[in-house]
Amino acid sequence: MRRKILAPMLKARVITALVLLALVVPALAFMPITAWAAFVLVFVAAAAWEWGRLCGFGMRLAIGYAAGIVLAALGFMGSAAHESDAVALAAYAVSVACWLMVAIWWFVRGPAAPQGFMLASLGACMLLPCWWAVVQAREAGALFMFLLMGLVWVADIAAYFAGRAFGRHKLAPAVSPGKTWEGVAGGMAGAAALAAICALATTDTGGAYDSWFAWLFGFAGRVGPAGYVAALALVLAMVGLSIIGDLFESLLKRRAGVKDSSGLLPGHGGVLDRIDALIPTMPLAMLIYAFMRAA
């Protein structure tokens, strides 16, 4: 019986993944930046609607919340503000500060999250900077963005297999019972390996083969051995923040009494279920990248 249930779910998961790849890969490779910004905004709008639902909003209010996020993004794109590095850096800094507050609060008091309009405000401070970070990462290059997002994917996959093989100590059993500290260690090891490979195989010259990792370790090389240690620490911090993003969304779903943020992506759940780890990491990555370019 279990196999009969899982088979359609797996089929739906594979079909959805193929459809998403067919949409995202050509868009990533060929769309001009403005079109790419609009393309990504569609997914952010869906994520904002899901976030509104997790805030406890009814259907109309959740749609209104998503519409507000979209209007704010379009207003930003239509103004001169989107050409200002200072505005983008401020947005990234706000996002990172919000996630650090969540992390510190969890460390001191345990997993918790605001509700209602306070959570909605927090969502705006997280979703909008993530959207613009994805746009600016694509502006730096398709490979740049793909490998940067790959950091989260590789860490997640490595954590899954390490947790399955060695997991004994639960990370946050009240929020996500399947995650373990051993999985975290495996995810960080996988991310460190990817960072090292990308730093060696890509460039930091402003060309098509640039990667965030080459920029990071190239910048670190100016300092010497201590710089490389700091660069690796930043990579691991990115992974740690991606885990916080994953756990935070799991907490919101658990509190709302739902398994997935929505059913928009058959076999995968909702858009938030797929981007929860990217929401905190992309603004941090682009904040670091801006600093490296300015230094």
Average pLDDT taken over every residue of the chain:
91
Total-model pTM: 0.92
pLDDT (average), residues 204-223: 94
Residue 273 has pLDDT above 60, yes or no: yes
| % the chain with pLDDT above 90 | 74
pLDDT (average), residues 142-169: 93
Please tell me the predicted confidence (pLDDT) of residue 234: 95
pLDDT confidence of 6, banded at 50, 70, 90?
Answer: very low
Please tell me the predicted confidence (pLDDT) of residue 5: 46
Please tell me the predicted confidence (pLDDT) of residue 7: 60
Please tell me the predicted confidence (pLDDT) of residue 195: 96
Helix H, strand E, coil C: the string for 247-271 is HHHHHHHHHHCCCCCCCCECCCECH
Specify which residues 172 forms β-bridges with. 176
Q: Supply φ then ψ for residue 171, to 5 degrees.
A: -80, -55
pLDDT confidence of 118, banded at 50, 70, 90?
Answer: very high
Residue 205 has pLDDT above 50, yes or no: yes
CA-to-CA separations, 242 to 57, 72, 100, 246, 280, in angstroms, rounded: 26, 25, 12, 6, 6
The tens digit of pLDDT for each residue in 48-73 reads 999 999 999 999 999 999 999 999 99
pLDDT confidence of 295, banded at 50, 70, 90?
Answer: confident
The tens digit of pLDDT for each residue in 9-40 reads 567 777 887 888 888 888 988 999 999 999 99
Q: How far apart are CA 40 and CA 20, in angstroms?
A: 12
